[in-house]
Structure 1
Amino acid sequence: MSRDLSPRTKLVLYGVLLVLAIPFVFPTWWMVTSSLKPVSDIFAFPPQLLPVHPRLDAYQRVFELQPFGRQYLNSLYIALVVTVGTLAVSALSGYAFARIRFRGQNVLFLVVLAGLLIPSEVTIVPLFQMFFKLGLIDTHWPLILVPILGAPSVLATFIMRQFFISLPGELEEAARVDGLGRFATFWKIALPLSRPALGAVAIFTFLHSWNLYLEPIVFLSSPEKFTLPQALTQFVDAYGGPMWNVQLAAASMTALPVLVVFVLAQKQFVEGLAHTGLKG
């Protein structure tokens, strides 16, 4: 359709889109550029869109004040483990709900979906008590197990179920004729075809784990075990005030993987959602 537009119409359209993008792009621009400024220039009036004298000392102080490299690796490996675990659980459970018929199937699925209606703040106290009795407080196990078995996995299961429902039944019938069992059909036929849905699940699961804040501040107390959202709150001066340029430098490095994932995988994310929740 865009090929039928005149050059003037395209120019106007791109101009409108550019103006609409400013409220979304400007906060990121301000965060990155302010991390290169001294504190006195961050709140200067009129605002400085570019640092007059760029300096990188704030980025150096990030690693001096906190074990930021270790905290970065903590968030990265936790997000990767949670993503892989959620993909495994949601793919298997989504396929079971979509293809295996058993008594009470729909009721059980509604019970599972009800987990999305329970705020995480409601369950955090009993979860803390459970992990405390297991001796897992101040470890990364709660940050791994809770997302894989909690609400993010429920949403992922729903997406995978909707995708598997949309697959033609003739594919499974052909697989059974060839002698494949239930799991072999899932592994060799259904799972390879579900790459768009798996891509969407992987993206929002990684981002959810990367940005997780409540659970880390409840379960972790050692700075070397902190994740990035929790670590960002620790850059304060002797009086408890925020060290703005240091916080913004740490936030810029924290946002980098999110921006990379968004830029590289936004098409996959949209296609995955288009192939899932709108069908079945």
Structure 2
Amino acid sequence: MRTENPRSELSPRARVALYGLLCVLAIPFVFPTWWMVTSSVKPISDIFAFPPELIPSRFDWSTYAEVFKLQPFAQQYWNSCYIAAIVTVGTMAVSSMAGYAFARIKFPGANLIFMVVLLGLLIPSEVTIVPLFQMFLKWGLVNTHWPLILVPIFGAPSVFATFVMRQFFIALPVELEEAARVDGLSRFGIFFEIALPLAKPALAAVAIFTFLHSWNLYLEPIVFLTTPGNFTLPQALTQYVDVYQGPMWNTQLAAATLTALPVLVVFIFAQRQFIEGLAHTGLKG
């Protein structure tokens, strides 16, 4: 049966009104980003002018040079990049295997174990941060990046990713696995050659929200890291202060703009895969 696209039924006038309404609704989301970017090239005296200037009357590009002069921002940028990359790949590996096991392998207490795993989502990170610090302190890993890698991969972000992958694998037709078994594939062969290639939308969704979570992580870095050279970007943004410990607004906003660029690029190019992945897991609202 042929289905009509609802947008094709709208008249040109209604379509213009709809797009106009969407533009108005987008203002509260777009304006803060626009204000951040434009304020990063304004003198401090112009940042809080009222009414705010949408387009700066004066441009001060020296703030971007100050970002790298006041602290090792390039090293901190690299720290966030490689930590987020490792955490993303590690979480995808752990969550895909765990999600497949919970979805397809029948073993005693599977549902109970899965419910216990999901309880990890209900525990705030602030509750576990002290025991984690004590554990990594005994291991001699404080002021290293290992806590920022291990905790997300085996913590709450990986639990949510496991849930997403489990929901996706449950929706896969059982006949695919039965046909693979007839062809002589083992359990690992079915996972790597059949299930995992079909799970690309779900893996894309997991990769995006894992990358964003690791990139924006703040509590763990301020607990585990003490040396500026080891800082990640969220922690580094708090260090741009003057001699009176007041924020250097234009320099801080310039650093925030550089920090937000990878997030915007990732979401712009991967938003379709993100939405498709959540739709396939039954999480769409």
TM range (shorter): over 0.9
Shift of 1:49: 1.1
Q: Is 1:185 matched with 2:190?
A: yes
Shift of 1:262: 1.3
C-alpha distance in structure 1 between counterparts of 2:213 and 2:37, whole Å: 22
Partner of 1:267: 272
**Percent sequence identity over aligned pairs:** 74
Which consecutive segments of 4 or more residues in structure 1 shift more than 6 A? none
Partner of 2:16: 11
DSSP-derived class of the 2:262 partner: helix
**What value does the CA root-mean-square deviation take over the aligned residues?**
0.8
5 Å matches for 1:201-280? 201-278=206-283
Partner of 1:98: 103
C-alpha distance in structure 1 between counterparts of 2:19 and 2:110, whole Å: 49
Shift of 1:278: 4.6
Partner of 1:42: 47
Partner of 1:118: 123
* One-letter amino acid of the structure 1 residue matched with residue 140 of structure 2: G
* One-letter amino acid of the structure 2 residue matched with residue 244 of structure 1: W
**Which of 82, 85, 91 is the matching residue for 1:80?**
85
Shift of 1:65: 0.2
**Which of 34, 57, 64 is the matching residue for 1:59?**
64
Structure 2: gaps of 5 or more residues: 1-5
DSSP-derived class of the 1:171 partner: helix
Partner of 2:34: 29
C-alpha distance in structure 1 between counterparts of 2:71 and 2:132, whole Å: 28
* One-letter amino acid of the structure 2 residue matched with residue 141 of structure 1: W
Partner of 2:137: 132
CA deviations on 1:88-124 (whole Å, 9 max, x unpaired) are 0000000000010010110000000000000000000
Aligned length: 279
C-alpha distance in structure 2 between counterparts of 1:278 and 1:40, whole Å: 46
Q: Is 1:173 matched with 2:178?
A: yes
* One-letter amino acid of the structure 2 residue matched with residue 240 of structure 1: Q
C-alpha distance in structure 1 between counterparts of 2:145 and 2:283, whole Å: 36
* One-letter amino acid of the structure 2 residue matched with residue 45 of structure 1: F
TM-score (norm 2): 0.97
CA deviations on 1:181-227 (whole Å, 9 max, x unpaired) are 00010000000000000000000000000000000000000001000
Shift of 1:46: 2.1
C-alpha distance in structure 1 between counterparts of 2:173 and 2:54, whole Å: 54
Partner of 2:166: 161
